Structure 1
Amino acid sequence: MNLKESEPTASASLSRRKFIAGTGLLLAGATLKLQANPLVSGAPLSTLFAEPIIDIHQHTDYMGRTTDQLIAHQRAMGITKTILLPSGRPVNSASTHFGVGNGLQAKATGNTICYGLAKKYPKEFLFGANEVPDVPEAIEEIERYLKLGACVIGESKFGVECDSPEMQKIYELAQAYNVPVLMHWQYGMYNYGLERFHKMLEKYPKVNFIGHSQTWWANIDKNHLDQKVLYPKTKVTPGGLTDQLLSNYENIYGDFGAGSGLGSMTRDEDHARIFIEKHQDKLLFGSDCTDITGHIDNCLGAKIIAEVRKLSPTKKIERKILYHNAKKLFRL
């Protein structure tokens, strides 16, 4: 054997020491990155995300998504505080379309589960209170969780008139506890009578309402005449019913969650820029998505965040929608 080939030279030994040292630094750096990643270590989200985001609209067990998947999803999106919106109890009645609307028509779970998760992760989750409005125990059930600290009533997604006696009892409860009411507007299905809702805004001026879903966002368009069309794709003519409500009443807000919220922006981005600037103090970010990754390539919530950032005329307005408006409304 040739000793010159088998024995390392001084320069070779130095290169090897550099390689070993560099590898050690690389491994140490990777370890530090893992420790700083809340998905791995459970460290505070502020160590990863410079700008806080409040998501006002998520659900537990949404279409079968597990709790661990929900937590990972919210963290991957960069959400620093999430409001969990419970369903009401399973009921076979007209208000749930004889069971179709149970679980918010999405397998979402109720007050107990949302409350439990928020108590387990108090830095990341808040919880709402909800119940089928026309069951005898509705007010008692909602008030029970308001007393425990629920910050909103909703998601109210039931087949009832928006000005029915049952819903007005809920508005009165919201007024007593100074919490908003988040309502899912879907023509012919949930919360009937958007065209009459201004009367409730006038009757309960101290209650803050949050509009959400298909019929709410379709009606940003003045020319939206066929209410059966839930996801319009056409250009928007300003001055629709939703635009009027946001303009004329201080106690109504808009939740950008779900495909309807995203579609309200992407269908006409030129209009959306003007709309966002006009209503910059009344718009809120909600994800309301069933995804499990939280990545923009396949996550509805992440796409909504990206669209808000793209269309907001200024950084200040973007931060209002993603954080400050919700912080103020929910007194966080």
Structure 2
Amino acid sequence: MKTASLSRRGFLNRSGVLLTGLTLNLNAVSGAQAEPIIDIHQHTDYMGRTHDQLIAHQRAMGVTTTLLLPAGTPAFGLSTHKGESNGLQAKCSGNDTCYNLAKQYPKEFLFAANEVPDLPDATQEIEKYLKLGALVIGESKFGVQCDSPEMQRIYELAQSYNVPVLMHWQHGMYNYDFARFHTMLEKYPKVNFIGHAQTWWANIDKNHHDQTVLYPKTKVTPGGLTDRLLSDYPNLYADMSAGSGLNALQRDEEHARGFLERHQNKILFGSDCLDAFGHGPQCQGSQTIAAIRKLAPSKTIERKIFYENAKTLFRL
């Protein structure tokens, strides 16, 4: 049974690569010139996905530049929920892996720096990779207060190196007390922060009161906390990735069009997709691309979200 399972998996993996190659070849034959897309949110070894599968996935989606976000060092304290959150709770690999893949494919991949914030050498580990060229700190996905001394040391490091911090907001699990985050935006006005994940996107709605609901499906009333923070603070940006970002687009398309227009200079495309193929019903990343193309009020705004905003923010 084991041999059969491995054989089937190998066949599926090879099929995915062949389909990707076919897609790219068809584009070449038709003379289509793909517009550049920057994906600011991807991971290496995501739930066991291989590097070859990751590369094929990004190419199939039409992504031209990918930012790899590492996990921190495996640790077993409170911030990683005694190890449950190691590997970003998704078996993702760390700084070395992201750095090495980016160096192997410099035209396609860039890399970030990350570390468990309450480890004693957290800032030293992050700084090591900032010195090597990391463009952002994150994904910060740890069970700590958003304004804790540990996180503030990271914000101070980001300020020193002029890089953004990408934060995963998930009520009761990661980066606690979203409602207090405005104090950090005010204390560190020179640091650009990027918001991501369930609690971030749920709070586009002014009527989102039950923070335990992570994927709300109701119509959206503008003016939620996320909406207000993006309007009020020039140092805050939005990462459109993951199922939470896609849900924010699909739950109320009329609101989504207005939101994309209102925050057109603040929204960044990210996939955070663990699919191995880059197309089809299981590929949430390609669905997000399709949703943005459908809902962006203009081609100008679409290009900002897919490319120009990230190019400016990361100084590419």
| Residue 162 (structure 1) aligns with | 146
The separation in 2 between residues aligned to 1:178 and 1:72, in whole angstroms, is 32
Q: Give the CA RMSD over aligned residues.
A: 1.6
Does 2:66 align with 1:76? no
Does 2:256 align with 1:272? yes
After superposition, give the CA deviation of every residue in 1:122-161 in whole Å (9 maximum; x if it has no partner): 0000000000000001000000000000000000000000
| Residue 227 (structure 2) aligns with | 243
Q: Residues 249 and 104 from structure 1, CA distance in 2 versus in 1: closer, same or farther, beyond 3 angstroms? A: same
| Residue 196 (structure 2) aligns with | 212
| Residue 52 (structure 1) aligns with | 36
Deviation at 1:280, TM superposition (A): 0.3
* Equivalent pair of 2:146/2:181 in contact (CA under 8 Å): yes
Does the residue aligned with 2:237 lie in a helix, a strand or coil?
A: strand
2:242 counterpart letter in structure 1: A
* Equivalent pair of 2:24/2:60 in contact (CA under 8 Å): no
2:50 counterpart letter in structure 1: T
1:173 counterpart letter in structure 2: L
| Residue 131 (structure 2) aligns with | 147
Match of 1:254 among 238, 247, 264: 238
Does 2:184 align with 1:196? no
Does 2:53 align with 1:91? no
* Equivalent pair of 1:38/1:48 in contact (CA under 8 Å): no
The separation in 2 between residues aligned to 1:201 and 1:48, in whole angstroms, is 42
Does the residue aligned with 2:254 lie in a helix, a strand or coil?
A: helix
* Equivalent pair of 1:256/1:287 in contact (CA under 8 Å): yes
1:73 counterpart letter in structure 2: H
Match of 1:109 among 93, 96, 99: 93
| Residue 9 (structure 2) aligns with | none
After superposition, give the CA deviation of every residue in 1:264-318 in whole Å (9 maximum; x if it has no partner): 0100000000000000000000000100110143310000000000000000000
| Residue 105 (structure 2) aligns with | 121
Match of 1:291 among 267, 275, 292: 275
Tell me the percent identity. 72
Does the residue aligned with 2:67 lie in a helix, a strand or coil?
A: strand
Q: List gaps (5 residues or longer) in structure 1.
A: 1-33
TM-score by length of 1: 0.86
* Equivalent pair of 2:95/2:114 in contact (CA under 8 Å): yes
Aligned residue-pair number: 293
Higher RCO, 1 vs 2 (CA within 8 Å, ≥6 residues apart): 2
* Equivalent pair of 1:132/1:138 in contact (CA under 8 Å): yes
1:331 counterpart letter in structure 2: R
Q: Residues 285 and 190 from structure 1, CA distance in 2 versus in 1: closer, same or farther, beyond 3 angstroms? A: same
Deviation at 1:193, TM superposition (A): 1.1
Q: List gaps (5 residues or longer) in structure 2.
A: 1-17
* Equivalent pair of 1:130/1:154 in contact (CA under 8 Å): yes
| Residue 27 (structure 1) aligns with | none
Does 2:149 align with 1:174? no
The separation in 1 between residues aligned to 2:194 and 2:32, in whole angstroms, is 30
Q: Residues 38 and 253 from structure 1, CA distance in 2 versus in 1: closer, same or farther, beyond 3 angstroms? A: farther
Q: Residues 214 and 73 from structure 1, CA distance in 2 versus in 1: closer, same or farther, beyond 3 angstroms? A: same
2:262 counterpart letter in structure 1: K
The separation in 1 between residues aligned to 2:161 and 2:59, in whole angstroms, is 30
2:221 counterpart letter in structure 1: T
Deviation at 1:40, TM superposition (A): 8.2
After superposition, give the CA deviation of every residue in 1:167-206 in whole Å (9 maximum; x if it has no partner): 0000000011011000000000000011000110011000
* Equivalent pair of 2:137/2:166 in contact (CA under 8 Å): yes
* Equivalent pair of 1:39/1:75 in contact (CA under 8 Å): no
Q: Which has the larger radius of gyration?
A: 1
The separation in 1 between residues aligned to 2:230 and 2:202, in whole angstroms, is 14
The separation in 2 between residues aligned to 1:49 and 1:278, in whole angstroms, is 29
Does 2:171 align with 1:187? yes
Runs of 4+ in 1 over 3 A off after TM superposition: 37-41
| Residue 16 (structure 1) aligns with | none
1:148 counterpart letter in structure 2: L
Deviation at 1:110, TM superposition (A): 0.1
After superposition, give the CA deviation of every residue in 1:38-61 in whole Å (9 maximum; x if it has no partner): 9889xx9xx864200000000000
The separation in 2 between residues aligned to 1:327 and 1:49, in whole angstroms, is 19
